[in-house]
C-alpha cells in the first residue's frame, strides 16, 4: 500500500484547528463529501482542502448501509445495517431529524431499496415481511409500498405491473415527480397519482434487429441531466456469438435511446459522468489487474485506458470540477488521480472503513 500523503488528525480538526490547502497542485473543486463509515458515522469532508470538517453520528447505531440524497440536496436518507430502519439527516444542521421503521414486534419489514419523491413527501420502498412464529419464519412476497414520510404510515401497496412480483426494483422519479419509472427487461412508467401503468417500452425496441435485449444498469449520477440516464450496456450478438459493450443515453420522457457499441464486453463498473457530460470514466477489475478508462462521449469512442494500482473492490467518482478522479471503497482511503493522465496524486485517510460516498457540488460551509 502506498504511503499516505494526506492523513487526517480528526480530533484536532474537530476541535477547530486550521485547515491546510493540500499539497500537490490540483484540487477537485468546491464540493462536499458525505462518506458513510464504520463504526457509526458520516464524515463530512471539504473537497477543496480534503479535510474532515465535521462528523455526523448515526442515532440508530452502526454505519449507514445505503445513502440517498434528496432531490434538492438538503437531506440524506439512510438505511441501517439491519435493513429495517431509515434515518433522515438535515445536511444544513448535520443532524438527525427523523427515524422510522415498519417493523413491529415479531413482524420484521426489511427494506431492500427505496426512492424518495422530489418533494420529500413520501418514499416508495421495495420491502419484504417476515413474521416470527414459535416454530418457523413466515416470509411474505416482496411488495412496493408508498410510505408517508411525515406520519410514517403506509399510504398504499402499489400493485406489481401485470401482477408479476419482482425480487428487485430499480426505480427513478421524473423531475416533476409525476412519473415513477421501474427498470428491468423493460421500462414501465407509473402515474404517481394512481400508480397505474401509463407507458411501457423495451430497450430492445430500438432499431438493432441483429442484437438481442439490452442488459443495462440504472443508478444515480449527480452529473446527469434531469430526465436522462447514461450508462454502459451489454448486449449479445447472436451472429458472432459474443457479448458486446457500449454506451446508451436514454431520454425517459421521449422514450428515446441513443446508443453505440464500443467493442467486446469488459468487466467495467462504476461508470461516472464528468460534470460537462462530454466524458465519462469507469474502472476495470480483474484479479491482480486494474484499469481506468476514459470515454469520449462526443466522439463515441474509448479515449484512453491504462493499468493502475487499484483494489479488488473499488468505486470511482469524478471531482466537482472534473479534474480529479476519486478511487474509493473498500477500505478507509480515497486515492486521488489526475483525470487527464491518471497520475496518482495523494491519498485521503478516513481512519474507518467506508460504506458509501456522496460528493455534492456547491454545498460548502
Cα separation, 109 vs 111, whole angstroms: 7
Q: Does residue 299 surpass a pLDDT of 50?
A: yes
pLDDT score recorded for residue 4: 37
The average pLDDT across 103-121 equals: 95
Cα separation, 146 vs 171, whole angstroms: 13
The average pLDDT across 333-341 equals: 96
pLDDT score recorded for residue 262: 93
Residue 18 belongs to a domain:
yes
The average pLDDT across 248-275 equals: 90
pLDDT digits (tens, 9 = 90+) for 315-326: 999 999 999 999
Top-confidence residue, 170 or 102: 102
Helix (H) or strand (E) holding 181: strand 179-183
Q: Which range marks the domain in which residue 61 is found?
A: 1-66+269-365
What DSSP designation does 160 have? P
123, 171, 257, 267 alpha-carbon torsion, rounded to 10°: 140
The average pLDDT across 255-276 equals: 91
The average pLDDT across 274-288 equals: 95
pLDDT score recorded for residue 63: 87
pLDDT score recorded for residue 339: 97
pLDDT score recorded for residue 9: 35
pLDDT digits (tens, 9 = 90+) for 216-240: 566 778 899 988 989 988 887 777 7
Residue 210 belongs to a domain:
no
Residue 125 belongs to a domain:
no
Grid cell for residue 349: 485517510
pLDDT score recorded for residue 24: 53
Residue 222 belongs to a domain:
no
pTM given for the model = 0.87
pLDDT digits (tens, 9 = 90+) for 31-78: 999 999 999 999 999 999 999 999 999 998 888 888 999 999 899 999
Grid cell for residue 211: 442484437
What is the percentage of the chain residues whose pLDDT exceeds 70? Answer: 88
Q: Does residue 357 surpass a pLDDT of 60?
A: yes
Helix (H) or strand (E) holding 215: strand 215-216
The average pLDDT across 285-290 equals: 93
Top-confidence residue, 350 or 237: 350
Residue 295 belongs to a domain:
yes
Question: How far apart are the two ends of the chain, measured CA to CA in Å?
Answer: 33
Angle (CA) 219 143 125, round 5° = 45
Check the CA dihedral 162-218-298-235 and report its sign.
negative
Residue 312 belongs to a domain:
yes
Distance between alpha carbon 26 and the CA centroid of its chain, in Å?
26
State the alpha helices, DSSP H only, in the chain. Answer: 10-14
pLDDT score recorded for residue 215: 54
The average pLDDT across 268-276 equals: 94
pLDDT score recorded for residue 170: 85
pLDDT score recorded for residue 213: 53
Cα separation, 127 vs 124, whole angstroms: 9
Cα separation, 224 vs 208, whole angstroms: 25
The average pLDDT across 167-195 equals: 89
pLDDT digits (tens, 9 = 90+) for 190-223: 999 999 999 988 765 554 544 445 555 667 788 9
Q: How many domains does the chain have?
A: 1
pLDDT score recorded for residue 239: 73
Cα separation, 335 vs 310, whole angstroms: 9
pLDDT score recorded for residue 361: 85
Report the chain's mean pLDDT, rounded to a whole number: 86
- Phi and psi angles of residue 13, each rounded to the nearest 5 degrees, phi first: -65, -45
DSSP per-residue codes, 94-127: TEEEEEEES-BTTEEEEEEEEEE-TTSSEEEEEE
pLDDT score recorded for residue 191: 97
Residues 6+ apart with CB under 8 A from 33: 43, 44, 45, 46, 47, 357, 358, 359, 360
Q: Does residue 8 surpass a pLDDT of 70?
A: no
Residue 217 near residue 232 (C-beta atoms within 8 A): yes
Which of 70, 65, 68, 105 is closest to 85 using CA atoms?
65
Residue 348 belongs to a domain:
yes
Residues 6+ apart with CB under 8 A from 225: 277
Cα separation, 40 vs 56, whole angstroms: 9
Residue 56 belongs to a domain:
yes
Lowest model confidence (mean pLDDT) among 72-86, 105-119, 217-231: 217-231
What DSSP designation does 73 have? S
Top-confidence residue, 300 or 233: 300
Amino acid at each position: 500500500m502506498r504511503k499516505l500523503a494526506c492523513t487526517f488528525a480528526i480530533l484536532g480538526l474537530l476541535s477547530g484547528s486550521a485547515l491546510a490547502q493540500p499539497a500537490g497542485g490540483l484540487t477537485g473543486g468546491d464540493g462536499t463529501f458525505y462518506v458513510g463509515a464504520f463504526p457509526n458515522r458520516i464524515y463530512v469532508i471539504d473537497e477543496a482542502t480534503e479535510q474532515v470538517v465535521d462528523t455526523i453520528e448515526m442515532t440508530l447505531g452502526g454505519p449507514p448501509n445505503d445513502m440517498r440524497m434528496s432531490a434538492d440536496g438538503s437531506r440524506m436518507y439512510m438505511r441501517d445495517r439491519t435493513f429495517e430502519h431509515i434515518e433522515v439527516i438535515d445536511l444544513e444542521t448535520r443532524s438527525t431529524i427523523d427515524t422510522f421503521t415498519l417493523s413491529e414486534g415479531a413482524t420484521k419489514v426489511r427494506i431492500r431499496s427505496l426512492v424518495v419523491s422530489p418533494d420529500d413527501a413520501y418514499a416508495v420502498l421495495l420491502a419484504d415481511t417476515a413474521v416470527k412464529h414459535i416454530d418457523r419464519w413466515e416470509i411474505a412476497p416482496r411488495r412496493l409500498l408508498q410510505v408517508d414520510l411525515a406520519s410514517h404510515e403506509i399510504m398504499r401497496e402499489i400493485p406489481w405491473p401485470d401482477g408479476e412480483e419482482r425480487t428487485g426494483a430499480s426505480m427513478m422519479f421524473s423531475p416533476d415527480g409525476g412519473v415513477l419509472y421501474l427498470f428491468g427487461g423493460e421500462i414501465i412508467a407509473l402515474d404517481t397519482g394512481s400508480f397505474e401503468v401509463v407507458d411501457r417500452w423495451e430497450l430492445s425496441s430500438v432499431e438493432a434487429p441483429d442484437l438481442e435485449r439490452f442488459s443495462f444498469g440504472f443508478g444515480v449520477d449527480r452529473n446527469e441531466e434531469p430526465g436522462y440516464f447514461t450508462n454502459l450496456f451489454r448486449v449479445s450478438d447472436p451472429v458472432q456469438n459474443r457479448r458486446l459493450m457500449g454506451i446508451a443515453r436514454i431520454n425517459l420522457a421521449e422514450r428515446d435511446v441513443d446508443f453505440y457499441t464500443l467493442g467486446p464486453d469488459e468487466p467495467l463498473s462504476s461508470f461516472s459522468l464528468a460534470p460537462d457530460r462530454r466524458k465519462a470514466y469507469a474502472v476495470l477489475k480483474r484479479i491482480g489487474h486494474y484499469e481506468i478508462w476514459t470515454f469520449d462521449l462526443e466522439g463515441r469512442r474509448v479515449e484512453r485506458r491504462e493499468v493502475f494500482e487499484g483494489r479488488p473492490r473499488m468505486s470511482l467518482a469524478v471531482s466537482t470540477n472534473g479534474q480529479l478522479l476519486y478511487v474509493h471503497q473498500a477500505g478507509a482511503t480515497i486515492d486521488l488521480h489526475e483525470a487527464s493522465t491518471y497520475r496518482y496524486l495523494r491519498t485521503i485517510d478516513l481512519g474507518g472503513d467506508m460504506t458509501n460516498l456522496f460528493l455534492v457540488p456547491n454545498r460548502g460551509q
